[in-house]
Structure 1
Amino acid sequence: MDRKVDRRVAIPLPYVLSKDWQIPADKFHHSAAASVMDVPLACGLLSETEARITSDYDATALLGELKAGVWSAEQVAVAFCKRAAIAQQLTNCLTEIFFDEAIARARKLDQEYGAKSSPSRGGRPLPALFGLPISLKDCFQVRGHDTSTGVCCFVGEPAAEHSALAALLVDLGAVLYCKTNVPQSMMTGDSDNVFGRTLNPRNRLLTAGGSTGGEGALLALRGSILGVGTDIAGSIRIPALCNGIYGFRPSVGLVPYSGLRGLGPSGTGGVHSSAGPMATSLRDCGLFLKAVMRADAWRYDSAAVAVPWVDDVQQQPGGRKLRIGVALTDGVFTPSPPVRRGLKQAVDLLRGDSSVEVVPIDLPGVGLISRDLISYVTLSGSDHNYEQFARTGEPPILSLQVGGLLSVPGTTLQVCFELNARRAAAAKKYLALFRDKGLDAILMPPAAHTALPLDRWTKATYTGLWNYLDYPAVVMPVD
């Protein structure tokens, strides 16, 4: 089954770019046009209304317009389906396309809650995410669609039911319309697999990141303004960095995770992945988390943590300043000049705020933590991956080979005990860092570099630290 052909067929003819803008299938790696950021508005496929809907709002503002009846759910769904189709043709960012289902659902929402010209919406309270289009990383199950996670052997196996988060989002009124590309194995910084490679829309000679690279590219082109990824070593934050968007990795359990397809053996434990939002604004990450945390997520996932959402952040007691620790480096890899400039810009802004105190810090033990994180995510070695590849004779992608994960041996039970002991010791050390210096947060680069050429992203020391400790972490772009 040719999944590339399937996706081309799934894009309605009116949404197809002219030949001038289409990328030949055999030219994904070497397209002449480095940036395609201007194409969605320049290609002529979007009407003036559709361009406005997809360009002028973040998710929070658009949701307000939907609830006020300024736009119908169907109008918004059509606009984002068209823009996602454009993004797909430019960057190969989508895996599963179900635009027709999304538009039909949006139309049903309009009918159920009243037409857009009726502000009262029939007197019925609107669901929290009424009519808001949300894209999902491929590993989330959506009923009736494949969850191949970039591996050939899972193609042609449509999901029987939604994963927990997909079901919750539907119940909250969201409109699911596509799933996005990932690397083979979901464990590298380049989203390349049976569907082909996702390219960075800002420079198609660079990686879009991984493992949630399809979301990153789609959001950068505003084919989505709110998507959901997963992160076990930086898989939300690395694509956010590469594509100039926001990506938030919550602590494990805050967002329902059950029903996702992971590519490692079940039950291995250790460091767990978490699901979180990717967006075009920071407040949209809050919008997503607020909706999920107020939705009794435990009803969808027994492992979900019931933490109440707090709307108003209280001022520091006694007028105490907010203390931000600044780490210029992770102590392993020195940041490149562009990264240092961006960090300095952020630090200068903080120092200009009289309510903030900047505290220089060093991050202890990151090198060992990074090595132990790799041991955790390869507890069973690579046999499981090779077994999946062997089912169809699929070769491993280049970035997976370059990263070395396929050559890491499995771990003995005794070594696993030692890993757990070192992780507990590191947790105490970082708790002491926060406590002894009175820190409220840490500001640091998300990587030592910006987006890299294809198949070159092999290290995740900056991002993986916070997965190892299970701390929340967010990437924010710096202009």
Structure 2
Amino acid sequence: MAQEAPTNVSKPIPVGTASFEEKRAALLKAFDRKVPPEYHLRAEFLEDPPSDVSTIPANCGILNEEEIKITEEYDAVGLAKEIAEGKYKAVEVVTAFSKRAIIAHQLTGCLTQWFMVEALEQAKQLDIYLEKNKRPMGRLHGVPVSIKDHIPVAGTSSSLGYLSTIVEDESDCQMVQILRGAGAVFYCKTNQPQSLMHLESDSLWGRVLNPFNINLSAGGSTGGEAALIALMGSPLGVGTDIGGSIRCPAAFCGIYGYKPTSHILPMRGFLPTPVAAELNIPASTGPMCRSIRDIDLFMTTILEAKPYLLDPNLVPISWTGSRTPPNSHRLKIGVISNDGFIQPQPPVAKAISWARKLLSDPVHASQVEVKEFKPFGAADAWSKIRRMYWPDGGDLSKKAIVSTGEPLHSLTEWIWEEQQESGMQTAQAVNLLRKERDDFRHKFAKSWEEQDVDVVIGPAFVGPASAHDTAFYWTYTSLYNMVDYPGVVIPTPIRAISGEQYDQGYTPLSDACQDVKKLWGKSDFKGAPINLQLVARRYHDNELLSALSLLKNILGLAY
């Protein structure tokens, strides 16, 4: 198995040809050379790390007391306020997060690029601006923002998670332009899967590990972001989601992640060429962060720039978010115990029971009406969406990966395995898939309406973070990509415990359900956080945040 840069805790990934491994080693060494020796973790932390590495950044001796405070005690909203009021300089904040990010990378492999020198120069100019103008440049003045690797940032490279796609970007994409104009500081880019299309962030840069149990995945495709934010190496990051790629890693790592309805936020330039999957399944972009109000901050910052004026594909909506008034005197919330296809693993079932108990407390009866909810067609949606992801049979991606001698990773092969037999679909076949999708969407909407709920709450994944190379079932997130409903994942106080058992009366709902139970018995998920997912109707994004704002006090969420 290939070896990672010497400063990293690592788990093995497949080995490619000698030529590929030489190029890969050069990239990793170039990264490692940027890290000052004083930011290298001591050997004791790297050679025999604990399964839970989440406490190491604050205790490794690299960060001073003030840097620990800056990175741990503030969300993005708080940081922006303190910088604007002069308590901290942007340079101080960027220094603290740059140092913590490189510590997080050594523990989890969460980064692909780290550019502290350039970030400090940007922060210095922001401090000069604030001193001269007596006001911040924008809502994110001086706030460090981490960016998923495939999203173009001027002066850095981007890729689809494999060698042949690495390009140098001379300009910012539209999203990054808006963030930069609001005063955000860019200091790192984060790891993602080979091909972007599965739930384990393992690429030529290495495998991202879960901070709370390094034997588990940090999720994908925005897994680097999730691990980095969980280790407090970033207050706010940008992810993308076409099957759960914001929500699953956020859930695996116990942070907030929000997938808006598609075509609200700008994605122009995110990928060098169009992706065939989006012929029928639209991707979304959104924030990953530490609090509900950071979601509001991100959405307000982007949407007040009126991105639809430059991108006519976008829907011009007004963002009211958490301030949106409720539609009625009581929020009708459906609780999902299972989707009729896969019964969630024990700690997820426990989290659902926790939420149901709090929501059903009579003290909240004037605010919330709780109902049982059964999602329509989960098994059918999973079958359909897997075909819709790969109308080319995955052949083009496979050829591009192996062209450099790069090995195929196991989940990369798995995701298009069934579709490879069909090969490249005809235009009419893809068109008929669109009819299947639209027919399904209508049936799903009818079922939602018949069950008479405003929002639903339920699993974000079939279990806690999956063991490495076993994230096979995304049914609880991909369903909402199929119907294009917005969803946000929220932390709970529940953590996985070693030895938890399924209920004695468990009966598998499907072969997939039985597989998920077997996977539970094969690994130890101790310490993995459990999130739940809150979902609203398509383009009811403001209503979703309104519901989340109401639930924050009932569920004790970080505001």
Q: Do the structures match in fold with TM over 0.5?
A: yes
Equivalent runs, 1:28-43 vs 2, <5 Å: 32-43=49-60
Residue 381 of structure 1 and its aligned partner are, at CA, apart by 1.3
Residue 206 of structure 1 and its aligned partner are, at CA, apart by 0.5
CA distance in 1, matches of 2:138, 2:326: 31
Residue 96 of structure 1 and its aligned partner are, at CA, apart by 1.4
Residue 99 of structure 1 and its aligned partner are, at CA, apart by 1.2
Q: What amino acid is aligned across from residue 344 of structure 1 in structure 2? A: S
Question: Which of 313, 322, 337 is matched with 2:331 structurally?
Answer: 322
Structure 2 residue 149 is the aligned partner of structure 1 residue 138: yes
Flag structure 2 segments of 5+ consecutive residues without an equivalent: 1-22, 494-559
Q: Could you report, residue by residue, the CA deviation over 1:200-247 in whole angstroms, capped at 9, with x for unpaired residues?
A: 111110011111110111011000111010000000111011111111
Residue 5 of structure 1 and its aligned partner are, at CA, apart by 1.2
Other-structure match for 2:460: 446
Residue 336 of structure 1 and its aligned partner are, at CA, apart by 1.2
Other-structure match for 1:74: 91
Equivalent runs, 1:166-181 vs 2, <5 Å: 166-181=176-191
Structure 2 residue 410 is the aligned partner of structure 1 residue 398: yes
Other-structure match for 1:62: 79
Other-structure match for 1:161: 171
Distance 1:97 1:301, change over 3 A: farther
CA distance in 1, matches of 2:455, 2:324: 14
Contact 2:276 / 2:390 at 8 angstroms: preserved in 1? no
Residue 162 of structure 1 and its aligned partner are, at CA, apart by 1.1
Residue 398 of structure 1 and its aligned partner are, at CA, apart by 1.8
Q: What amino acid is aligned across from residue 429 of structure 2 in structure 1? A: V
Residue 268 of structure 1 and its aligned partner are, at CA, apart by 5.7
Other-structure match for 1:3: 27
CA distance in 1, matches of 2:439, 2:484: 14
Q: What amino acid is aligned across from residue 250 of structure 1 in structure 2? A: P
Residue 88 of structure 1 and its aligned partner are, at CA, apart by 0.7
Distance 1:163 1:405, change over 3 A: farther
Contact 1:264 / 1:384 at 8 angstroms: preserved in 2? no
Distance 1:7 1:269, change over 3 A: same
Other-structure match for 2:355: 346
Distance 1:347 1:131, change over 3 A: same
The alignment of Structure 1 onto Structure 2 pairs a total of residues equal to 463
Further displaced range: 184-193 or 263-272: 263-272
Other-structure match for 2:42: 18
Further displaced range: 44-53 or 408-417: 408-417
Structure 2 residue 388 is the aligned partner of structure 1 residue 369: no
Further displaced range: 402-411 or 302-311: 402-411
Other-structure match for 1:117: none
With normalisation by structure 1, the TM-score equals 0.93
CA distance in 2, matches of 1:268, 1:468: 11
Distance 1:146 1:476, change over 3 A: same
Moved over 4 A (4+): 262-268, 404-407
Residue 302 of structure 1 and its aligned partner are, at CA, apart by 3.4
SS of the residue corresponding to residue 482 of structure 2 reads helix
Q: Could you report, residue by residue, the CA deviation over 1:420-475 in whole angstroms, capped at 9, with x for unpaired residues?
A: 12221222223223333332101110111111111000111110011111110111
Structure 2 residue 169 is the aligned partner of structure 1 residue 152: no
Structure 2 residue 282 is the aligned partner of structure 1 residue 292: no
Further displaced range: 405-414 or 208-217: 405-414
Distance 1:255 1:207, change over 3 A: same
CA distance in 2, matches of 1:447, 1:373: 16
Distance 1:126 1:264, change over 3 A: closer
Question: Which of 107, 129, 133 is matched with 1:112 structurally?
Answer: 129
Contact 1:264 / 1:385 at 8 angstroms: preserved in 2? no
Other-structure match for 1:122: 133
Further displaced range: 59-68 or 121-130: 121-130
Contact 1:130 / 1:172 at 8 angstroms: preserved in 2? yes
Other-structure match for 1:429: 443
Q: Could you report, residue by residue, the CA deviation over 1:363-412 in whole angstroms, capped at 9, with x for unpaired residues?
A: 11111111111111101111111221232111111222244447533333
Structure 2 residue 397 is the aligned partner of structure 1 residue 385: yes
Q: What amino acid is aligned across from residue 361 of structure 1 in structure 2? A: F
SS of the residue corresponding to residue 45 of structure 2 reads coil
Other-structure match for 1:466: 480
Q: Could you report, residue by residue, the CA deviation over 1:246-280 in whole angstroms, capped at 9, with x for unpaired residues?
A: 11101111111011126764696111211111111
Equivalent runs, 1:199-348 vs 2, <5 Å: 199-261=209-271, 265=275, 269-310=279-320, 312-317=323-328, 320-348=329-357
CA distance in 1, matches of 2:349, 2:478: 20
Other-structure match for 2:17: none
Q: What amino acid is aligned across from residue 54 of structure 2 in structure 1? A: M
Q: What amino acid is aligned across from residue 142 of structure 2 in structure 1? A: G
Contact 1:34 / 1:205 at 8 angstroms: preserved in 2? yes
Contact 1:265 / 1:384 at 8 angstroms: preserved in 2? no
Structure 2 residue 58 is the aligned partner of structure 1 residue 44: no
Other-structure match for 2:9: none
CA distance in 2, matches of 1:192, 1:12: 25
Distance 1:112 1:123, change over 3 A: closer
Q: What amino acid is aligned across from residue 169 of structure 1 in structure 2? A: L
SS of the residue corresponding to residue 210 of structure 1 reads coil
Residue 125 of structure 1 and its aligned partner are, at CA, apart by 5.3
Q: What amino acid is aligned across from residue 111 of structure 1 in structure 2? A: I
Further displaced range: 431-440 or 206-215: 431-440
SS of the residue corresponding to residue 209 of structure 2 reads coil
SS of the residue corresponding to residue 357 of structure 2 reads helix
Further displaced range: 217-226 or 402-411: 402-411
Contact 2:191 / 2:225 at 8 angstroms: preserved in 1? yes
Flag structure 1 segments of 5+ consecutive residues without an equivalent: 24-30, 115-120
Q: Could you report, residue by residue, the CA deviation over 1:9-33 in whole angstroms, capped at 9, with x for unpaired residues?
A: 122332221222235xxxxxxx652
Other-structure match for 2:103: 86
Cα RMSD after superposing both structures: 1.8
